[in-house]
Amino acid sequence: MAVSYKTIGLVNTKEMFKRAINGGWAVPAFNFNNLEQLQAIIKASSELKSPVILQVSKGARSYANATLLRYMAEGAVEYAKEIGCKHPEIVLHLDHGDSFELCKNCVDMGFSSVMIDGSSLPYDKNVELTRQVVEYAHKYDVTVEGELGVLAGVEDEVQAEESHYTKPEEVIDFTSKTGVDSLAISIGTSHGAYKFKPEQCTRDPKTGRLVPPPLAFDVLDAIMQKLPGFPIVLHGSSSVPQEYVDIINKYGGKLPDAVGIPEEQLRKAAKSAVCKINIDSDSRLAFTAAVRKTLAEKPAEFDPRKFCGPARDLMEVMYKQKIVDVLGSDNKLAQLD
Ligand code: G3H
Ligand code: 13P
Ligand code: ZN
């Protein structure tokens, strides 16, 4: 039987996106696949009184089991209240949905928001599929994110060699024909921990670190001019903190030349109509750094809580830093008491 997200205390993205755009901040969209990530996300967002989007990818559903993840999100609402956040605003969102059936299944099982990613399809097919999802989801007041333009890297099973920026001349037609609530765009971000090839970057002469090229803010500006006040989403927005990469490499890992999006660029984006910023890889890096360090320093340890605990703590630190320093979403719940 279908379950409404409203009965389990979740919210859709509509109101929080409005507030984020008007207030010049962005809502964090963090992916989760396991208990520790979920605990860290809820602890960080609840303690800082930030709205939050819990994202579940198709890969997460097959890793952790779709039903379990959905009930974990229901539990997250209660956990947020238990740790002192009386009025949490938690969205359960499908990340990179690739079919009508998958989106429908998520709506039916209590998701409050879904993404239908038709960005790799021909334009007309993307419009058709996205409109079909919107028609279904809106019957249940579930918000829908569509995507135009292609991000380099891996989007679940879809792998693109190159990014293709969103064409500003398409955005009015796409949003009006589909009725989407938000639009993911491509302006130079990409998924994963290798967002740019070394030859696309310069090197800082002092540190020897890669310095990535800037995002295409001119494309973002052109899109915002066409769609004033319309909610824009940025995928692929991990900054790949070099301190985590260094810990991973120091303790036996191999992540040479991993590079992300500089945080000052994300800060600038968050002040615009970009109202949802997707971060997954930074959580994976924090988790791996803490696990590698703990196991290297305590080789006799074999209780997973002893290395998953530090991993959870480091992810919490990372999520809090993003909320406060990058997204500016702290103290932005509609009801703070
Ligand atoms: O968009 C990609 C997200 O980081 C999800 O990654 O498909 O490996 O779960 P995943
Ligand atoms: P990152 O790989 O940069 O964390 O991007 C995550 C994302 O866009 C999820 O949809
Ligand atoms: Zn993404």
DSSP 253-290: ---TT-B---HHHHHHHHTTTEEEEEE-HHHHHHHHHH
Cβ neighbours of 32 (radius 10 Å): 26
Task: Please give the distance, rounded to the nearest whole angstrom, from the Cα atom of residue 133 to the centre of ligand 2.
Answer: 22
Domain assignment present for residue 256? The answer is yes
| Distance from the first to the final alpha carbon of the chain | 35
C-alpha span between 38 and 316 (Å, rounded): 10
Please write the tens of the pLDDT for every residue from 66-88: 999 999 999 999 999 999 999 99
Residue 153 has pLDDT above 70, yes or no: no
Domain assignment present for residue 192? The answer is yes
Task: Please give the distance, rounded to the nearest whole angstrom, from the Cα atom of residue 225 to the centre of ligand 1.
Answer: 30
Half-sphere exposure of 114 (CA within 13 A, CB side): 32
Domain assignment present for residue 149? The answer is yes
Residue 158 has pLDDT above 80, yes or no: no
Amino acid at 54: L
Give ligand 2 pocket residues (Cβ under 6 A).
Answer: 31, 95-96, 191-192, 235-238, 278-281
Please write the tens of the pLDDT for every residue from 48-68: 999 999 999 999 999 999 999
Domain assignment present for residue 310? The answer is yes
Total domains, the chain: 1
C-alpha span between 142 and 119 (Å, rounded): 20
List the domain range (segments joined by +) for residue 243.
Answer: 7-327
For Cα atoms 50, 54, 60, give the angle at the middle one, nearest 5 degrees. Answer: 155
Domain assignment present for residue 229? The answer is yes
Domain assignment present for residue 1? The answer is no
Active-site residue identified among 95, 98, 181, 282? 95
Please write the tens of the pLDDT for every residue from 205-263: 999 999 999 999 999 999 999 999 999 999 999 999 999 999 999 999 999 999 999 99
CATH number, position 91: 3.20.20.70
User: So what's the pLDDT on residue 155?
Assistant: 45
C-alpha span between 24 and 137 (Å, rounded): 28
The pTM score is 0.97
Domain assignment present for residue 335? The answer is no
Kindly report the backbone phi and psi dihedral angles of residue 154, in degrees, each rounded to the nearest multiple of 5, phi listed first: -105, 125
User: So what's the pLDDT on residue 2?
Assistant: 87
Domain assignment present for residue 129? The answer is yes
Please write the tens of the pLDDT for every residue from 14-42: 999 999 999 999 999 999 999 999 999 99
Burial string for 168-199 (b: 16+ CB within 10 Å, else e) reads bebbeebbeebebbbbbbbbbbbbbbbbbeee
User: So what's the pLDDT on residue 319?
Assistant: 99
